[in-house]
Amino acid sequence: MSQIHFLVERALRFRTELARISALQAMGALTTLTLPWLAGQLLGGVVEARIGSTSTIVLALVALLILSTLFKISGAMVSARTSAVILAQLRLDTYRKIQRLPMKFHNRSNQGELLSLMTYEISRLSDFLTNTIATVPAMVLTAAGAIVILFVIDPLLALLIPILVPIFYILLRFSGRKLRANATKMRDAETEVFNKAEMHLEMLSATKAFAVEDTQFDLYTAAIEDARRKSALNEQINSVISPLVGLIAALAALTVILLGGLQIGEGGRTPGELFSALLYAALLTRPIGQMAELWGRLQLARGTLARLQAVITLEPEQGYDRGLLPDTVRGALAFRDVHFSYPGRQVTLRGANLEIAAGEVIAITGENGAGKSTLVNLLLRFYDADQGQITLDGTPIENLQVQALRRYIGYVPQRTMLFSGSLRENVVFGCPQASDEQIAEALRLSQAEAFVADLPKGLDTQIGDHGVRLSGGQCQRIALTRALLLHPQIIIFDEATSMFDLENEALFVKAIKGALSGQTVIIITHRRALLALADRIVKVVDGRFEEVAAS
Ligand SMILES: Nc1ncnc2c1ncn2[C@@H]1O[C@H](COP(=O)(O)OP(=O)(O)OP(=O)(O)O)[C@@H](O)[C@H]1O
């Protein structure tokens, strides 16, 4: 699908709003078109000293000026409102789509690029739809109206048009090509600034600790400089084109005056008609200038459209809209001859077999990079096995609706993911309806109870950007609370206590032992204390699972 087709498809979803803006602007254009004619009549009346007719014309002129202003005001108001609606809708659509794209996509895509697409690129596009596309009917109406009226006043004057059109065409084609080529580079450079800013802010403490502020500053300066150069080139092209279009249009208007002026007195034009013709010629320059601008903006919008199209047309994760929705699960898992490699990487799992009975507590160990977390990635269907099968209670997991599958699994990832907000919001992330009692119980099990109680506002303490920072071990305890609160049938701890002190880890093991009865538990760990929880220990070796005797 071409970008223009894609744009039309997006625009059609807002056809009512865009039609309203177009209609208001078209009515404004029609009103404006009558003004030069009336002005000519007024001049004629003044020259010929027809006082009676001039007062009627003045009244009509004032009324039409007011009307034209009213159309302009309401057009601008509707346009601003519509732009905001389109912006919100496009952002929601894109966010929804990005949420549903597979982890495969997210792991290889650039966060800064997605962020810039979802925020300022989309806002430019909504501006483009309301401020540019919706003004096309008014532009065309004004240009066509002025040409027709010029032709009626004097066919000779209107002959200027076929001479002007090819000049404009060549000019716009040339500038369009240059603008388009630069637009992609400009956007890439701007995205790089976004990326660098995001990355550098995230790395700020490391930057300070390694005292590399100057190096980081130089990298950021290079990105800023590149974006500035490319944006300056764009402005330069635009700043040549618009005045050039204006100059050509002004020269055309001058020709109108000369041709018309010569005809006065030879029984040709009246001064009033000449004045009207001059005003229509001047009026014609406005839509022509706007068209040049529209052309430039379209070249910029095409870059955004290409990126948006690339995201919107991607296939969402499989299993979102279809699949089995079991009412309950027992939690029996099986990996049968599972082979898997990440795109472009060496084989991680090669014929892995593992049976986990419902309610069993199994520990998975293995060297760094052996493939322990990969097992979770496959179980949660962040990735699909290349070969073999994974089943839950005997049903292949790809036959289940993917969100239903994930809701049966509580997952404490290796890298805790807390967001800036209150502790309570972080804890109830997957279970917003949890009661205070349930939260208290989960906090008790994860050994978070005491440190949360010590915070000045307890669970209502803000953490992250706007509040207190938590220690690594405290973050892990909150991540554990979040998963325990779900009471999932299957729970996975991926190095979930790696930052716990020994005493608290022992307390956690003691507390959790009784609490997990009936749940299938997968513990990925190198820590001895946690191994004590397991019924069985399995090691990942050479892409396969090997049973290990508990020591
Ligand atoms: N998203 C990914 N894309 C590409 N390769 C990956 C990805 N995640 C992991 N890998 C690679 O797959 C292999 C297995 O990684 P995995 O995270 O499963 O190891 P692990 O056993 O959990 O290691 P650790 O003990 O260090 O946590 C590693 O070589 C790793 O580099």
pLDDT digits (tens, 9 = 90+) for 257-303: 677 666 665 556 677 877 887 788 778 777 877 777 787 778 778 87
Q: Any idea what the Cα angle at residue 83 is, between residues 81 and 88, rounded to 5°? A: 100
The residue nearest atom 30 of ligand 1, judged by CA position, is: 369
**DSSP string spanning 376-444?**
HHHHTTSS--SEEEEEETTEEGGGB-HHHHHHTEEEE-SS----SEEHHHHHTTT-TT--HHHHHHHHH
Q: How far is CA 317 from CA 104, 105, 226, 252, 482, in A?
A: 9, 10, 36, 58, 25
> Which residues pair with residue 524 across a beta bridge?
364, 494
pLDDT at 257: 65
Are residues 130 and 83 in contact, defined by beta-carbon separation less than 8 angstroms? Answer: yes
DSSP H or E run through 207? helix 204-209
Nearest CA to ligand 1 atom 18: 371
Residues of the chain with pLDDT > 90, as a percent, come to 35
Nearest CA to ligand 1 atom 3: 342
Distance CA 289, CA 238 (A): 11
Is any atom of ligand 1 closer than 6 Å to the C-beta of 373?
yes
The answer to whether the CB of 348 is under 6 A from ligand 1 is: yes
What are the residue ranges spanned by the domains of the chain?
Answer: 3-312, 333-548
Of all protein residues, whose CA lies closest to atom 13 belonging to ligand 1?
Answer: 369
Given the cut 0.95, state whether the ipTM is greater than it.
yes
Residue in this structure with the two tokens 């369009």, named with its chain if needed: 176
pTM for the full predicted model: 0.77
Closest Cα to atom 25 of ligand 1 = 368
- Region 162-183: mean pLDDT is 76
Which residues on neighbouring strands pair with residue 463, listed in sequence order? 421, 468
The CA 109 to ligand 1 mean position distance, Å, reads 18
Q: Which residue has the tokens 């890439």?
A: 188
Atom of ligand 1 nearest to the CA of 103: 1
Highest mean pLDDT among 85-94, 134-143, 173-182, 373-382: 373-382
For the CA of 526, the nearest atom of ligand 1: 25
Q: What angle do CA 443, 444, 446 make, to 5 degrees?
A: 65
Q: Is 328 exposed, middle or buried (0-12, 13-18, 19+ CB in 10 A)?
A: exposed
What is the domain class of 3-312 according to CATH? mainly alpha
- Ligand 1 pocket test: pick from 338, 368, 374 the residue with the most ligand atoms within 8 Å of its Cβ: 374
Residue 51: CB atoms within 10 A of its CB come to 8
Residue 169's pLDDT band, with cuts at 50, 70 and 90, is: confident
- 14 confidence band (pLDDT: 50, 70, 90): confident
Distance in Å, CA 342 to ligand 1 centroid: 9
Sign of CA dihedral 181, 239, 28, 122: positive
CA distance 116 to 341: 31
How far apart are the C-alpha atoms of 306 and 296, rounded to whole Å? 16
Q: How far apart are the first and last CA of the chain?
A: 62
Mean per-residue pLDDT for 28-39?
Answer: 88
State which fold the 333-548 domain adopts: Rossmann fold (3.40.50)
Q: Which two tokens stand for residue 491?
A: 């729970």
Segment 460-485 mean pLDDT: 87
* C-beta 365 within 6 A of ligand 1: no
Q: Torsions phi, psi of 89, nearest 5?
A: -65, -45
Closest C-alpha to ligand 1, atom 1: 107
Mean of the pLDDT values across residues 240-246? 74
